[in-house]
Structure 1
Amino acid sequence: MTTNQIANRLVELCRKGEFETAQKELFAENAMSIEAQAGGGFEKETKGLKAIIEKGKQWNNMVESMKKLEVSEPMVASNSFACTMHMDVTMKNKDHMDMTELCTYEVKNGKIVSEHFFN
């Protein structure tokens, strides 16, 4: 897949909330995920597809309800792309989070090898 195809597919799946499907389909086995900051039970860096999928499961288990999920169209370069993701969620501990992150991705050999989130 080209970087453009990967970017569009990732956006399509994320808009449906199908994050694990996106990871299994589009990420390299040795991919790295870098959060904007450590906290909430999450490390700053997560290495490897299995660990990234597990991090997603942990996040899902913490969410009580999602009121809004919006993902922008991707901006694509030759081996990278970026989009914004806006989530309005209520956590199981009743904390409310309304956040927008810039999500950047690096692609090598037809797979996402890194994702980096910025607030």
Structure 2
Amino acid sequence: MTTQEIATRLAGFCAKGDWEKAQRELYAEDAISIEPEESPAFAKETKGLTAIIEKGKKFDSMVEEVHNISVSEPLIGGNAIAMVLNMDMTMKERGRMNMSELCVYVVKDGKIVSEQFFM
């Protein structure tokens, strides 16, 4: 898949909250995920597809209700993809919140090899 094709598929999965489907289809086995900062819930870096999928499941387990998810049109620059992800959700024990983050992905050999989130 080209970077543009991956970006289009990824945006579609993210708009539906289908994180695991995106990861299983589009990510390399040795992909890395980088959070803005270390938190009690998530490490700064998560390495490997299996660990990234588990991180996604942990995030989903913290969500009580998803009210809305929107994704900007992906921007492509060489082998990089950037898009804004907005999520309106109620988190268990934290209440309703709006989260907006810039998501940046790097593609190599037709697979996502890294994702990094900026808030």
Do both proteins adopt the same fold according to a TM-score greater than 0.5, normalized to the shorter chain?
yes
Runs of 4+ in 1 over 4 A off after TM superposition: none
SS, match of residue 38 in structure 1: coil
- Superposed CA deviations along residues 78-110 of structure 1, whole A, max 9, x for unmatched, are 211100000111111143321110000000000
Q: Which residue of 1 aligns with 2:74?
A: 74
Q: How does 1:23-38 map to 2 (within 5 A)?
A: 23-38=23-38
Shift, 1:40, TM fit: 3.9
- Superposed CA deviations along residues 23-44 of structure 1, whole A, max 9, x for unmatched, are 0000000000001122141001
Query: 1: CA distance between counterparts of 2:97 and 2:23?
Result: 23
SS, match of residue 93 in structure 1: coil
Over the matched positions of the two proteins, sequence identity in percent amounts to 55
Q: Structure 1: give runs of 5+ residues left out of the alignment.
A: none
Q: How does 1:82-93 map to 2 (within 5 A)?
A: 82-93=82-93
Aligned alpha-carbon RMSD (Å): 0.9
Q: Structure 2: give runs of 5+ residues left out of the alignment.
A: none
Q: TM-score, normalised by structure 2?
A: 0.96
Letter of the structure 2 residue corresponding to residue 87 of structure 1: M
Moved more, 36-45 or 17-26: 36-45
| 1:53 pairs with 2:60 | no
Q: How does 1:13-24 map to 2 (within 5 A)?
A: 13-24=13-24
Query: 2: CA distance between counterparts of 1:13 and 1:98?
Result: 19
- Superposed CA deviations along residues 37-90 of structure 1, whole A, max 9, x for unmatched, are 221410011000000000000000110011111111100112111000001111
User: How many pairs are equivalent?
Assistant: 119
SS, match of residue 73 in structure 1: coil
Shift in CA distance, 9/70, structure 1 to aligned 2, threshold 3 Å = same
